[in-house]
Structure 1
Amino acid sequence: MTLVSPSRVIIEPIVRTALLEDLGLAGDLTSASVIPEDHQTTLAMVGRQPGTIAGLDAAELAFSLIDPDIKFERHIRDGHRVSPGDVIATVSGPARGVLTGERTALNFLGHLSGIASVTASLVQAIEGSSASIACTRKTTPGLRALEKYAVRAGGGVNHRFALHDAVLIKDNHVAIAGGILQAIRRAKAGVGHMVKIEVEVDTLDQLQQAMEEGVDAVLLDNMTCAQLREAVAMIDGRAISEASGRVTLSTVAAIAATGVDLISVGWATHSAPTLDIGLDVVAA
């Protein structure tokens, strides 16, 4: 699958907001007072721990929005794995601008690479199965497009991006609607033919009702591996099967072995540790 980065139209407002937060009303007081205006420098972005890289477009924008004269040379692409000491990119140009954009660039690159790295470890753990690792809407407000891109960079796939993408009937919808059947029927009557419908089920009885009514996908929530295997047999290819809940690096392979199509993992986006990446001076 080809990795396609979000458009600059999407990324630029996110990066610009982060820079404005850092610059405030007075700008970078330290660089402006300590570094001569005409001074040039070269720094290297270096991996300090193993992981998978994502977010180079955002990192580059953090520098170019500060000063278009800054050059950002990539040595690897998003989706590639790095080892400690690997040079990811070289940044050169006006020293004030480089130092001003440094933290914002590293924040984006480290955060997104952390998500890509966690996703890659999950993907590796289920290698050989037919399942895919999917993200959820448990993302940082304002960063969803970038975080979901980082999941793709790690080899995962995206679930819906927002509430308007598709219908996902969850337990609270079912409870308020009065049951699985009522919720599914109202959804079918309320959306157009292009909108897919997924329903969350907690039991095999609920699953049977959902399959009798007909849906595009079924979210099998917090089921044991034995229940998942039975659920996959009941679905029998008539809908996409998605396992969710209790997914860890130590359990994901067993979940994948049940035959489910997707394994959704919320913590891959909301709790991934930042990948340690440094920006070291090459030429002062």
Structure 2
Amino acid sequence: MIVLPDSALDALLAQDVPYGDLTTDSLGLAGRPATMHFAARAAMVLAGTEEAVRLIEKAGGRLTQVLPSGTAVEAGAVFLESDGPADALHRAWKVAQTLTEYASGIATRARRIVDAVPGVTVACTRKNFPGAKDLSVKAVMAGGAVMHRMGLSETLLVFPEHRGFLSGPPGAWIADLRRKAPEKKIVVEAGSVEEAVALAEAGADVIQLEKLPPEAARAVIEATRHLTPAPVVAPAGGVTEANAAAYAAAGCRLLVTSAPFFGPPADVKVTLQPA
């Protein structure tokens, strides 16, 4: 499981508490013994709890109990408990809560899609909120999904925006890509059944269908199953919890989605009180 580096967590604390906690300090609460626990207000899949612990520890608190990222909890479940000086727990409180809420929201949505399509791989795109890739990737994995691609440096994915600059038949530039990067799968995006079939026949390993319905995915699979090897047909764009099962029923074994990144955070209740 990914764990965010301390440098990133230090930066989060510095953003929220750059020059001390004016309210807590002015009330004279420094040093008073306190406890803090986090509980789920609704059923959720946890993500970011390891980072919440480190934030609490960095602020001067102590962990007493925590459930790991990837754990599914019911409403009301306490998943993190800590104690320490009141001023320390106040410093970590909101940063740790917010991080856990956003990460758990992504993980929960990812898990719902994964649960809707047993045996099918759910892959999330790189359309995470800019600057939050590490936490987003961790949340995706906590939800049981995988990453479609981390960025532009490690995968071959040819979009129509690339093909507009190319000349010659698809078979020629696909063969050229295979010579230049023989260890990589060649993924090509298609916007119609006809285009998808033509690209598969030209040698593409994976056909990514851009916002085509399940019946179109089925048509591509049936039209290309005679190829050796048959391409992987991966719907992308608009794949959600609501339609994932329809794509799986059409024969798709890989679903590409951005849906887990877009939605409300999970709701975490924090209780901070005197020990």
Q: Give TM-score, length-normalised by structure 1.
A: 0.87
Shift of residue 52, structure 1, vs aligned partner: 0.8
Match of 1:140 in 2: 129
Shift of residue 213, structure 1, vs aligned partner: 2.9
Asked if structure 2 preserves the Cα contact closer than 8 Å seen for 1:44 and 1:282, the reply is no
2:189 pairs, out of 200, 206, 210, with: 200
More off after superposition, 54-63 vs 75-84: 75-84
- Secondary structure of the corresponding residue to residue 59 of structure 2: coil
Match of 1:114 in 2: 105
Q: Give TM-score, length-normalised by structure 2.
A: 0.90
What amino acid does structure 1 have at the position aligned with 2:16? D
Match of 1:17 in 2: 11
Shift of residue 281, structure 1, vs aligned partner: 2.7
- Secondary structure of the corresponding residue to residue 44 of structure 1: strand
Match of 1:250 in 2: 242
- Deviation track 1:135-187 (CA, whole Å, cap 9, x = no partner) reads 10100122112212211211212211111121111121122335771653453
5+ long unaligned stretches in structure 1: none
Shift of residue 100, structure 1, vs aligned partner: 0.5
Q: Alpha carbons of 1:15 and 1:234: their partners in 2 closer, same or farther (altered >3 Å)?
A: farther
Matched, 1:188 2:178: yes
Match of 2:145 in 1: 156
Q: How far, CA to CA, are the matches of 2:206 and 2:65 in structure 1? A: 40
The equivalences for 1:40-119 within 5 A come to 40-67=33-60, 70-119=61-110
Q: Alpha carbons of 1:179 and 1:80: their partners in 2 closer, same or farther (altered >3 Å)?
A: farther
Match of 2:210 in 1: 221
Match of 1:6 in 2: 2
- Secondary structure of the corresponding residue to residue 39 of structure 2: strand
- Deviation track 1:182-233 (CA, whole Å, cap 9, x = no partner) reads 65345335x4333332110112332233223323322111222221112122
1:125 pairs, out of 113, 116, 120, with: 116
Asked if structure 1 preserves the Cα contact closer than 8 Å seen for 2:239 and 2:259, the reply is no
Asked if structure 2 preserves the Cα contact closer than 8 Å seen for 1:173 and 1:183, the reply is no
- Secondary structure of the corresponding residue to residue 104 of structure 2: helix
- Secondary structure of the corresponding residue to residue 157 of structure 2: strand
Identity %: 25
Q: How far, CA to CA, are the matches of 1:76 and 1:180 in structure 2? A: 54
What amino acid does structure 2 have at the position aligned with 1:117? T
- Secondary structure of the corresponding residue to residue 146 of structure 2: coil
Asked if structure 1 preserves the Cα contact closer than 8 Å seen for 2:187 and 2:207, the reply is yes
- Secondary structure of the corresponding residue to residue 147 of structure 2: coil
5+ long unaligned stretches in structure 2: none
More off after superposition, 196-205 vs 10-19: 10-19
Count of residues paired in the alignment: 271
What amino acid does structure 1 have at the position aligned with 2:260? A
Superposed CA RMSD in Å reads: 2.1
